[in-house]
Amino acid sequence: MRWICSLRGFFAVPLILFASMAHGAEDTIKVGILHSLSGTMANSESALKDTVLMMIADQNKKGGLLGRKLEPVVADPASDWDAFTDKARELLANEKVAVVFGCWTSTSRKAVIPVFERLNGLLFYPVQHEGEESSRNVFYTGAAPSQQAIPAVRYLMSKEGGGIRRWVLLGTESDYPRMTNRILGAYLAAEGVNAEDVTTIYAPLGHSDWREIVEKIKVLGSQGKKTAVISTISGDANGHLYNELAAQQVEARKIPVMGLSVTARELRGVDVSRLVGHMAARSYFQSVTTPENDAFVKMWTDFNEQRDNITNDPMEATFIGFRMWAQAVTQAGTSDANAVRQAMYGQRIKAPSGFEVVMNTNHHLSKPAMIGKLNPDGRFDVVWRSINPIKASVWSRYIPESAKLTADWTFPWVCGGCAEPTFKEW
């Protein structure tokens, strides 16, 4: 495994080592890993780095790809969006990686897309996102709003979900929460919810003092209408938020919190005994009982020698993306970005979720929606799931300027609102 480092001391490496490295590069396919291993997002992203390393090790045990071993090249942007851009450029321009698996926040993804488009790299992005974007250089294996946020609200509005009528949209001050909340606001309006019954609150990334915000949520929930929180809080701020929810005794039966960017991993260290019943919306939970999930969890625990037995949705999305990329490379007979991109369309695997997921020409997966409830062990038990995988709606029909747009990257490439400027109507 190689790590990208600063140039200091770089030129002091003996020329004989350069020759050895150059020869080795010819015999390997380099795989870039672009995840924060320090800073506010490290708790979430470090596991995704290790998931890619696990997949590379597994593939190498099978002989690699095309008769060549895979070589990981790890870059740590340290939760700094400008650093994501710099590290992406190093991976593509200097390291010549064939593919990159990385990013968590939409802000980091948006920061690197111009680099991937300019240098024609491939990025596999494994986290839920706000949609309203499709790049020919990105494959999105996380859920779009039509696969997560909208089903979550529909569930809470139903009798089974509590018949919620008042909403608190709680988010981090960044791209994903703001656009997701805009879509949810438009969806709620379309469902007849009055504007005064929707309250939007934002906090800084990494926010730690949630006392006043939770107090405000409790006041809103005490005014006679069934109230729920939709949370798009990311990173280690989740731990602080849920600790405050527990401290102020915000019970799920009174004010349920539906997390869109929280997993059992972010809740490690939180006293969940007073949080049982709060929810999360995902495409995968570790509690699903399928042979594929049993194998996935075993693969993970074996890889880290039983030190960590927690899997989550972004890890599963990373697993799916890697397997599909490997299949596409094998099908194309090359790791060349253009050939792999074309081979990706229609790739499918039986995912740990138990569903067969497929990559569509809009660069998004068809994948299931699930609702999980937090149990006393700090895991989420699945209480609802879609019957079939849901095809991602990249452009939301609830946003007027997006309603007639779609993304289709079959030849000739067409993508509404992307760098390739042609619009295609439904």
Predicted confidence (pLDDT) per residue in 198-256, tens digit:
999 999 988 999 999 999 999 999 999 999 999 999 889 999 999 999 999 999 999 99
Query: How many C-alpha atoms does 187 have within 13 Å on its Cβ side?
Result: 19
Give me the CATH code for the 2-143+307-364 domain, please.
3.40.50.2300
C-alpha to C-alpha distance for 426 and 419, rounded to whole angstroms: 19
Residue 405 pLDDT: 87
Is the distance from CB of 246 to CB of 270 less than 8 angstroms? yes
pTM value is: 0.90
Give the tens place of pLDDT for each residue, 67-124.
Answer: 999 999 999 999 999 999 999 999 999 999 999 999 999 999 999 999 999 999 999 9
Q: Which regions of the chain are under pLDDT 70?
A: 2-26, 411-426
Residue 9 pLDDT: 37
**DSSP secondary structure code for residue 93 in this structure:** I
Give me the CATH code for the 149-282 domain, please.
3.40.50.2300
The candidate with the shortest Cα–Cα distance to 361, out of 116, 151, 140, is 140
Sorted by where each begins, the domain ranges of the chain are 2-143+307-364, 149-282
Residue 408 pLDDT: 85
The candidate with the shortest Cα–Cα distance to 73, out of 109, 29, 117, is 29
Beta bridge partners of 166: 227
**197 vs 165, 189, 232, 385, CA distance in Å?**
7, 10, 18, 27
Residue 26 pLDDT: 61
